[in-house]
């Protein structure tokens, strides 16, 4: 992995979030090795050569419906939606972007969402354990313990987690859920996969999907580049991609390396077990105290709104 400004900030965020002390050990200890992944975890293989993008984007619509999110602002038949590169946000967990193909008549469309890393940097950076990698493959988020530090947003190598800045009282980190609660737990594919009319996405055991991807590359070497994106990037991801052009041409970072992001800071973190145990509890206690205080204040304002108004008037004077 190249250490540029972006990567430096992400690694610094990871280390700061977990260590959170001013002094790091002078001698790093041996790494205990990285997580190899649950053998039965599920994944999705995205074949970008089959996506038609324009007049479709049913994956975006299905995702919005599944999560009770607003319908995407621009209709599927509106080509201007591809005028600029879009990223996911708090009200849209997946987006389709358009890239140049072999000719103007054959653009390439690529869907973007959380990659659900085998060793997620967001989970490693989280001070209170709000993120967890489930055996089924999804990276789950628990808003009830989140303190809003947003280290997860800094740490993610794919720039996926977003934040509800517009929510004053209970803002949450937002990202693709892999439809964990509504579908994945019952063995069903995500809503976006089921809605795709072109069968761009294949859902199944991650190991099986890798075999399918390799078979496609062997059978059609002129159709695909010899690379399964996500098989090894940052230690492996549950969402993987096939493409007809190098991945950096369709918006994927190719400078991430194959080392899981948490492993890049693990040597330091293993020398600070006491801090790692105390710090999350400390932050969670502050958060719960502050949250309860805000709730009591809101209840008091509802019961006695005139007192709040009088208080402001007095201050104004």
Lookup: tokens for 132: 């967890």
Give the pLDDT score at 21.
Answer: 40
Longest dimension (CA), the chain: 79
Name, in order, each residue with C-beta under 8 angstroms of 45's C-beta and a sequence gap of 6 or more: 201, 202, 204, 209, 212, 213, 240, 241, 242
Give the pLDDT score at 25.
Answer: 37
User: What is the spatial distance between Cα 239 and Cα 117, in angstroms, rounded to a whole number?
Assistant: 8
Give the pLDDT score at 8.
Answer: 54
* Residue range 247-277, pLDDT digits in tens: 999 999 999 999 998 887 665 555 555 555 5
Which residues does the chain have with pLDDT short of 50? 20-33, 309-317
Lookup: tokens for 161: 């987690």
DSSP secondary structure of 39-74:
TT-EEEEEEGGG---TT--HHHHHHHHHTTPPPPSS
In 246-314, the DSSP E strands lie at none
Can you give the pTM of this predicted structure? 0.77
Give the pLDDT score at 274.
Answer: 53
Q: Write the CA distances from 172 to 109, 145, 254, integer angstroms.
A: 29, 10, 29
């Amino acid at each position: 992995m190249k250490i540029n400004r972006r990567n430096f900030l992400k690694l610094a965020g990871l280390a700061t979030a977990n260590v959170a002390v001013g002094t790091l050990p002078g001698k790093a200890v041996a790494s205990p090795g990285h997580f190899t992944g649950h053998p039965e975890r599920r994944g999705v293989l995205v074949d970008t050569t089959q996506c038609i993008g324009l007049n479709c984007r049913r994956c975006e619509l299905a995702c919005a419906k599944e999560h009770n999110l607003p319908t995407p602002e621009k209709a599927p038949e509106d080509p201007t939606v591809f005028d600029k590169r879009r990223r996911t946000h708090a009200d849209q967990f997946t987006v389709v972007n358009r890239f140049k193909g072999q000719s103007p008549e054959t653009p390439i469309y690529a869907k973007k969402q959380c990659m659900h890393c085998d060793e997620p940097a967001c989970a490693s950076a989280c001070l209170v354990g709000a993120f967890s990698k489930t055996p089924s493959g999804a990276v789950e988020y628990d808003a009830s313990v989140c303190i809003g530090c947003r280290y997860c947003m800094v740490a993610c190598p794919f720039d996926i987690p977003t934040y509800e800045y517009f929510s004053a009282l209970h803002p949450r980190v937002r990202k693709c859920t892999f439809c964990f609660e509504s579908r994945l737990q019952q063995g069903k594919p995500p809503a976006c996969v089921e809605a795709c009319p072109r069968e761009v996405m294949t859902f199944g055991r991650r190991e099986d999907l890798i075999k399918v991807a390799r078979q496609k590359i062997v059978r059609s070497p002129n159709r695909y580049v010899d690379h399964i994106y996500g098989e090894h990037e940052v230690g492996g991801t549950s969402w993987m991609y096939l493409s007809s052009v190098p991945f950096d041409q369709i918006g994927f970072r190719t400078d991430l390396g194959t080392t899981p992001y948490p492993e890049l800071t693990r040597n330091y973190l293993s020398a600070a077990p006491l801090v790692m145990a105390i710090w999350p509890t400390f932050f969670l206690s502050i958060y719960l105290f502050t949250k309860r205080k805000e709730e009591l204040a809101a209840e008091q304002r509802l019961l006695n709104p005139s007192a709040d108004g009088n208080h402001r008037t007095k201050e104004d004077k």
